[in-house]
Structure 1
Amino acid sequence: MSFDARRFLSKWGTYALFAVFAAWCLHAFQHDLAQIDLSTLQHAGPTIAVVGGLSLFNYFLRVVRWRIYLAKLGHRLPWGFTALTFMSGFAFTLSPGKLGEMVRARYYLPRGISASSLTGAFFVERLLDLLAMIILASVVLAELQAYRYFFWVAVALVGGLLVMLAVVPWQRVRVPVGQGAINMLAHARQFLAPGVLVSGLLIGLVAWLAEAVGLKLLADLDPTVSIQLGSAIGIYALAIIVGALSFLPGGLGSTEAVMTALLVAHGMSVPQAILTTLICRLLTLWLAVVIGWLCVWRLRHHATGLPV
């Protein structure tokens, strides 16, 4: 098989899998989807706009954090360039573990920023996002008995990785294979400095809390149920944790299933829980993907690191 054929299959095969998955979901839930009452959306425009704004606020705060990490690496880049390059990674959010987001490295390499330092920053960023979700989910852990296993797995994973990063002298580790990963971990260690670590975590907490509040606002569109703010935060955080641990592209399927199940457990009907989940994911996951591709298009002439 030629290189071009492999690249074509790699690119479009992924989209084909998403299409098949979407078709399966439509078939599996067609009975519940038929019962969705869209009348709740008649006056939902302002709420949807606010929830979308909260997602944009999330993206803005994460750009701020990324700029702090780049400054830690000794590079103070223009705001516009930093924002565009960071958000361009959202185009590849639907990659396992969001690893596809690291394609943004192509814009930084011409500016003298090494791939290992970028992957180190990305690794810590992902780790702190998961830690932020753990903290948010812990607020209502008592209500989430059925999903405690995922919570504690995430705690063990994040705790173990942080200890490993802090204790192992990565600069002195030499291995025959996988030296690139060792270099990445060595660079990641510098982001564990107290000031950078705390600021990164606090920014992550506020950013993800904003999207969790968005779920609460969407749940309030259903007049038949009242979900407390703390419960909405826990539902959103735990759904994202399960999605991250599933290593499915963007947590597709797992995140939606958990979010819907938890909304139902808090009194929402299955059709309305599906609707709330779909809108939430449209305004968080898919909005980010659309913005990411717009940024990729905007940066199409700037892979050489020219100013934006």
Structure 2
Amino acid sequence: MPAQVVFGAFVYERSFDLVVVFLLGMAAFGEHGILWLSGIFVVLFTSAVLLLGRFPQTLHVIESFVVRYGMDRLGGMVKVVEDGLISCRVWMNGPDVALSFGLGLLAWSVTALSFCYLLEWLNLTIPFLSAFGSYPLAMLAGAASMLPGGIGSTEISLIAILGVYGISVEVAAVTAIAIRVAGMWFSILFGFAAIGILEMSERRESRR
């Protein structure tokens, strides 16, 4: 797959992720000021995607500038971003937007409900809407940190949110790690397993 198509699909999917997670995080709106910071990040990110996708010549100017000063590698990266944002346009239609939003809402709602179930299993009493919005809210904080997978920042945010309800740091840390292992690292493990299977299949085919 061409790099720009992969990048475009990633940006498109991540944009819907941020919007959906922000909406779910609003369930805890009046209780966590961090939602304001996360909301600003979501607005800036999605606005940048829409504007640069609509006016890709902006990135073309940047690309020409950096190449002129001998930064060819950086110029190539800007070119991939430019082509990727342009490729997003093919999905900017009613049916694709509705499907992407609907599936994103379903997927993240299941994750939020899983967090509610974990809290109940650990006998931690938190109002349902607050519990439902807490994990998406922590995910937004992790995304705003710009760290890969929001590692560290998501867990710290979730510990801080649970602390508002009087949950000790130790118990909150165990809860945060458990939901992250179940929600993200479990799927990453499956992803690596899939890559390994594909690699072995390709080697068998090449031997034949």
**Which of 233, 258, 267 does residue 132 from structure 2 map onto?**
233
Partner in structure 1 of residue 81 of structure 2: 181
Point out which structure has higher relative CO (alpha carbons under 8 A, 6+ apart).
1
Other-structure match for 1:55: none
CA RMSD for the aligned pairs?
Answer: 2.3
Deviates more, 1:230-239 or 1:139-148: 139-148
Q: Which residue of 2 aligns with 1:140?
A: 28
Pairing 1:294–2:182 present: no
Does the 8 Å CA contact 2:112/2:132 hold for their aligned counterparts? yes
1:168 is aligned to 2:67: no
Q: Does 1:125 align with 2:13?
A: yes
CA–CA distance in structure 2, aligned partners of residues 295 and 193 of structure 1: 31
Give 3-state SS (helix, strand or coil) of 1:134's partner: helix
Name which of 110, 115, 118 aligns with 1:210.
110
Task: Tell me what 1:199 maps to.
Answer: 99
Partner letter of residue 45 of structure 2? L
What count of residue pairs does the alignment treat as equivalent?
A: 190
Mapped contact 1:216–1:228 kept (Cα < 8 A): no
Give the Cα–Cα distance (whole angstroms) in 2 for the partners of residues 122 and 144 of structure 1.
Answer: 29
Q: 2:198 and 2:83 mapped to 1: Cα distance?
A: 28
Rounded Cα–Cα distance in structure 2 between residues aligned with 1:255 and 1:277: 8
Where does residue 100 of structure 1 map in the other structure? none
Question: Match of 2:71?
Answer: none
- Show the counterpart of 1:253: 152
In structure 2, what is the equivalent of residue 284 of structure 1? 183
Equivalent position of 1:275 in the other structure: 174
Unmatched runs of 5 consecutive residues or more in structure 2: 65-74
Q: State the alpha-carbon separation in 2 of the partners of residues 259 and 227 from structure 1.
A: 13
Bigger mean CA deviation after superposition, 254-263 or 187-196? 187-196
TM value normalised by structure 2:
0.81
Percent identity at matched positions? Answer: 26
How far does residue 253 in structure 1 lie from its aligned partner after superposition?
Answer: 0.9
Match of 2:45 in 1: 157
Give TM-score, length-normalised by structure 1.
0.56
Residue 232 of structure 1: CA displacement? 1.8
Per-residue CA deviations over 1:27-86 (Å, capped at 9, x if unaligned) read xxxxxxxxxxxxxxxxxxxxxxxxxxxxxxxxxxxxxxxxxxxxxxxxxxxxxxxxxxxx
Go from structure 1 to structure 2 and tell me whether the alpha carbon gap of 1:140 and 1:217 turns closer, same or farther (over 3 Å shift).
Answer: same
Which deviates the most, 198-207 or 176-185?
176-185
